[in-house]
Amino acid sequence: MYQKLEKDISVTSSVKTKKDNKILILLGLMLLIRPLFGQIDNRFNVFSWEQYASAGEVNSISEDYTYFYFGTESAGILRLNKFSKQFAKPINQAQGIKSNSIEHVYFDEHTGILWVIGDNFIEYSFSREGSWTNLNYNLLSLKSGNQIIDIGSSEDYLWLRSNSRFFKLDHVNGILLGIYATPDESSIDWGDISSRELRWRMFDFNDYFVEDAWLLTSNGVSDNRGNFSKYLSYYKSDNGINWMSLSNGYILKIDEFNKLITPIFYGLSCAVPTSIVDDDILWISGIGNKSFNGITKFDIDNNNFENILSDNYLNFNKDNIYSSIMIDDEIWFGLDSYVIVYDIKKDSFRTIGFEKGVPRGKIIHLEHKNGSVFAGSINGVVEINSVSKGRIHGEIEKFVFSKNLSLGDIEKFEEKVFFVLSNSVFVYNNENNRISSLNWEDKKFDNLMTKNQVDIASRSVSRTFSRNNNLYIVTDLGIIDYKDGSFVVSSATYFNYKITDLIVVNSSLLFLSTTRGLFIVDLEENELINYYDFPFLRNIYQMKYMSEYLVLLTSKGLIKFNINL
C-alpha cells in the first residue's frame, strides 16, 4: 500500500536467516547493520529533514577542520562554519542522532570521528553528519550521560571521565577496554573546559569590549536587561576565536585579535513553536522557555534567524502564544485570555484583553474577514475591528454565549466565516450578521453518503480547512469536500488520528499532519503514499508548503522537509 514519494530512493535489501546457525548469523547482522540504525530513514539524504529548535543550555563546544560544534540541551548540535562565519544546518534527530539533548560534543582529531554524549546514548559518526552509531550506557555500568563529566582522546584511545572513574574505549568503535581510577597515559586532550571545572581566575577579560551592553562577572553574565546566566563551557581555539557557552542559550564569541566579545543566539526563541505566518520570511511563535519567550523571524532560504524577545518590549511578556494571523503590516497573536498586536513598521506591541471581550482560555483560533478579527477559545469568541481595535457586538458572539457552545475552529471561506461549534458547523456572514447551520442536504451530501453517514458526519466535525479554493471538513468518518459532499479520504487511512492541519499540493497530493505523524495521500488513486512517524514528527501543530519544501511546527521544533514533487 505504501509507495515511494521520492524519485531516488535506495533499496534496502532483506536478509533471510536459516534456523541452523541462527545465533551466529544474528550476531553478524548486528555488527553489519548497527551503523544503519543511526540514519533516520535510508530513503532520504542526510539533510532531507532539517530540525530547528530552541537551544536551551549550550553545554559543550568542540571544533574540526570546518566547523565549530555546540552541544545544546534541546536542539542537538549547532554548527558554525569557520570560513563563512555562518551557521550551517544543525545535527540532531533528523540526521539520526537518538539524543537531542547533548551533554558533550567532541571531535577526535586522531580518527576524524565526532563523538556525542547524549541523554540516551553515546553516539559517533565518521562523516560527522549522518550514519550515527550508538552505544548504550549499560555497557559502561552507567545510567545516563549526566554521569559523564568529560570526554577526551589520546593518540590511541578515547577516554570518558565520571566523578570517580575513567573509561578507556577503542577510539574507532567505542568498545570498552578498561576502567581506571586514573588514566594509564598522560597525553589526553580533554577538549573544552566544562562547567564543573570553570574558574574565573582562568580568564582575564579586563581588556575586552563586550557588545550589546552585556556585563561579565566572576560567576556568570548579565545581559542588557539584567538577566543573569551561568557559564557552562569554555573552548580555546588555535585560530584566535575562543568561545564561552551560557545557560540561557547564548554563545559568547571571544575575538582575541580585536579584543571583542559578542553574544550570539541561534535558533528559535520559543521552546515549542505552535503558530506560523509568512510574508517574505516566516514569523514563528509559541510556548516560551524558562528564561524568556519570543517571536522568531526565520529566513528559511538563507538559514538566518532574527528574534524579537519578550524582555525587550513593553506589552510583550513571556506568556505562551497559541495562534497568529497577519493583517497587512500587523501580526495578531493569541495568548491565554488576551491578544497582542505587533506593528511591524513601528516595532511595537499593543494588548487587547478582557476589556474588549476576549474570552477566557487559550486563544487558539484567530481569523480575519471583512475588516473583523475573530478571536476564540473553547469558552467563546469575540469580534474585533481590525483597524480601530474596538469590540464589535456581532451576532456570533451572542449566539455562542447564549447557547453555551464550545468553539472548535474558525475558518474563512469565500464570503463567509465557518465556525465549528460543539462539533457542528455554522456559517456566519458578518456583513449582514446572519448565522445559519450548515445544511448538509442542500450541499447534496446525502447523494454521496448514506443517510446514516450524513447524520454522523454532521454531528462529529472537529476542524475545517480552507485550501485551494475549497473547504475541507474533518469529521469522525473522514475528510469531506464541502463543495460536492464527497469523501476526500476515510479516517481509517490516517488511522483515526487527530488531524491538526492539511495541505493540498498540485490537486493530487494531500498532506495530513496529525498528533502521531505525517500522512501523504494520493487523491487521484485514493490511497496512502507514505506515513512518517519519526520522533521529531510527533504532535504536529501547523504546516506550510513552500514549493521546494514542507515546513512543520512540532513539539520538537520547526521541521523543514526538503521534498521533490
Q: What pLDDT shows up at residue 14? A: 33
Report how far residue 380's alpha carbon sits from residue 376's, in angstroms, rounded to the nearest whole number: 6
pTM above 0.85, yes or no: yes
Q: Where are the beta strands (DSSP E) in 171-278?
A: 176-180, 193-194, 209-210, 215-216, 220-222, 228-235, 241-246, 251-255, 260-264, 272-278
- Predicted confidence pLDDT, tens digits, the chain (565 residues): 333 333 332 323 333 333 334 333 333 333 333 433 455 667 788 899 999 999 999 999 999 999 999 999 999 999 999 999 999 999 999 999 998 899 999 999 999 999 999 988 999 999 999 889 999 988 888 888 888 999 999 999 999 998 889 999 999 999 999 999 998 888 899 999 887 777 666 677 788 999 988 998 888 888 888 889 999 999 999 888 999 999 999 999 999 999 999 999 999 999 999 999 998 899 999 998 777 789 999 998 888 899 998 888 888 888 999 999 999 999 999 999 999 999 999 999 999 999 999 999 999 999 999 999 999 999 999 999 999 999 998 899 999 999 999 999 999 998 899 999 999 999 998 888 899 988 777 666 655 667 777 777 778 999 999 998 899 999 998 999 888 878 889 999 999 999 999 999 988 899 999 999 999 999 988 899 999 999 899 899 999 998 788 999 999 999 999 887 5
Backbone dihedral angles phi then psi of residue 514, each to the nearest 5 degrees? -135, 180
Residue 91 is predicted with a pLDDT of 95
Q: Which of 158, 166, 145 has its CA nearest to residue 188? A: 158
Output the pLDDT for position 227.
85
Among candidates 411, 412, 382, which has minimal Cα distance to 398?
382
pLDDT score, position 210:
92
Taking a C-beta distance cutoff of 8 angstroms, is the pair 470, 462 a contact? no
Closest to 250 (Cα-Cα) out of 233, 237, 273, 236:
233
Residue 16's pLDDT is 35
Q: Is 39 left (phi over 0), alpha (psi -120 to 50) or beta?
A: beta
* Residue pointed to by grid coordinates 513571556: 318
Give the 3-state DSSP-derived string for 3-45, with helices as H, strands as E and coil as C: CCCCCCCCCCCCCCCCCCCHHHHHHHHHHHHHHHHHCCCCCCC
pLDDT, position 508: 87
Longest dimension (CA), the chain: 85
Q: Residue 310's pLDDT is what?
A: 83
Burial class, 450, CB count within 10 angstroms (exposed 0-12 / middle 13-18 / buried 19+): exposed
Q: In 109-217, which ranges are E strands? A: 113-118, 121-125, 133-136, 150-153, 157-161, 166-170, 176-180, 193-194, 209-210, 215-216
Nearest residue to 555 via CA among 293, 287, 299, 292: 287
Provide the b/e sequence for 524-546 (b: ≥16 CB within 10 Å).
Answer: eeeebbbbbebebbebbbbbbbe
